[in-house]
């Protein structure tokens, strides 16, 4: 793909994002054939949005999630500034095709992890983290059927990023906790809607964080100090409709809620 093809793909995706419409797939002439091409399109989508990138998401972090969308591994997507909502706020589902809420661990980086020749270890990545937070993501896709377009086109479409909310930083000494075993629960309108743990996130949210740090060093500029990373859903995504309220409860790590309209 040349620069014109990259721009054409990004412009088409951003048009559908703004208009809350769908396309079957990208045209053949500007359809990415590799992760490198896909991340180049994603970066152009962010540029066309006129928004700053405030962090990243890790998509498809469970085997079930990967099988559902027919991909063989996780994907990274940038989080745009205008898509951040405050904990307790309302999110419009107008034009949203997926209509689910995902309960996730989030990390805020205290130090940057720049590109380098060798991969970062989990310990190195964790040493660069400032705080841990509970989070809720409300994803969406610009494809009519996001389960069949493949990893490259999904990455180009910002890995199904849309709305997200980050709760307060936990005051618990989370570094001393086995995050893989730490539980999380979702409540919809006060009733339990799902339970899970960090083990659903590539086996451990810490592993997911290290994965995206290295993915961004391979295909981007790495993680920056201040970036927030949401690491993937800890439980089966919770279907939501207008009028619902969803609470993500991480026990002693904290909780947050979102409403939907």
Report residue 80's pLDDT band, with 50, 70 and 90 as the boundaries.
very high
Q: Quick one: pLDDT at residue 221?
A: 95
Q: Quick one: pLDDT at residue 92?
A: 96
Q: What are the residue boundaries of the structural domains of the chain, listed by start? A: 52-260
pLDDT digits (tens, 9 = 90+) for 122-146: 999 999 999 999 999 999 999 999 9
pLDDT digits (tens, 9 = 90+) for 149-200: 999 999 999 999 999 999 999 999 999 999 999 999 999 999 999 999 999 9
**Under 8 Å between Cβ of 169 and 132:** yes
What is the value of pTM for the model shown?
Answer: 0.97
Task: For 190-256, give the DSSP string.
Answer: TEEEEEEEGGGTTTSHHHHHHHHHHHHHHHSS-B-TT-EEEEEESSSPEE--TT-EEEEE-GGG-EE
Q: Quick one: pLDDT at residue 164?
A: 98
CATH of domain 52-260: 3.90.850.10
**Under 8 Å between Cβ of 78 and 49:** no
Report residue 218's pLDDT band, with 50, 70 and 90 as the boundaries.
very high
**Under 8 Å between Cβ of 156 and 9:** yes
Query: Rounded CA gap, 193 and 121, in Å?
Result: 35
């Amino acid at each position: 793909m040349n620069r014109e093809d990259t721009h054409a793909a990004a412009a088409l995706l951003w048009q559908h994002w703004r208009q809350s419409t769908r396309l079957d797939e990208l045209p053949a002439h500007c359809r990415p054939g590799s992760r490198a091409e896909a991340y180049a399109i994603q970066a152009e989508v962010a540029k066309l949005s006129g928004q700053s990138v405030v962090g990243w998401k890790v998509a498809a972090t469970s085997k079930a999630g990967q099988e559902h969308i027919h991909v063989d591994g996780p994907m990274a997507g940038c989080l745009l500034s205008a898509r951040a909502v405050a904990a307790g706020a309302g999110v419009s589902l107008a034009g949203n095709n997926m209509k689910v809420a995902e309960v996730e661990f989030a990390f805020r980086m205290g130090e940057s992890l720049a590109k380098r020749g060798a991969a970062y270890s989990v310990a190195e990545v964790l040493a660069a983290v400032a705080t841990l937070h509970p989070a809720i993501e409300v994803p969406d896709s610009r494809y009519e059927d996001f389960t069949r377009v493949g990893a490259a086109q999904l990455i180009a479409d910002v890995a199904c990023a849309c709305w997200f909310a980050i709760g307060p930083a936990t005051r618990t000494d989370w570094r001393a906790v086995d995050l893989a075993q730490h539980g999380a629960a979702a409540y919809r309108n006060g009733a339990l809607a799902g339970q899970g743990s960090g083990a659903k996130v590539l086996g451990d949210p810490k592993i997911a964080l290290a994965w995206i740090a290295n993915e961004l060093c391979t295909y981007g500029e790495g993680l920056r100090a201040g970036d927030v990373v949401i690491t993937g859903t800890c439980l089966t995504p919770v279907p939501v409709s207008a009028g619902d309220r969803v609470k993500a409860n991480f026990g002693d790590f904290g909780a947050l809620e979102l409403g939907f309209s």
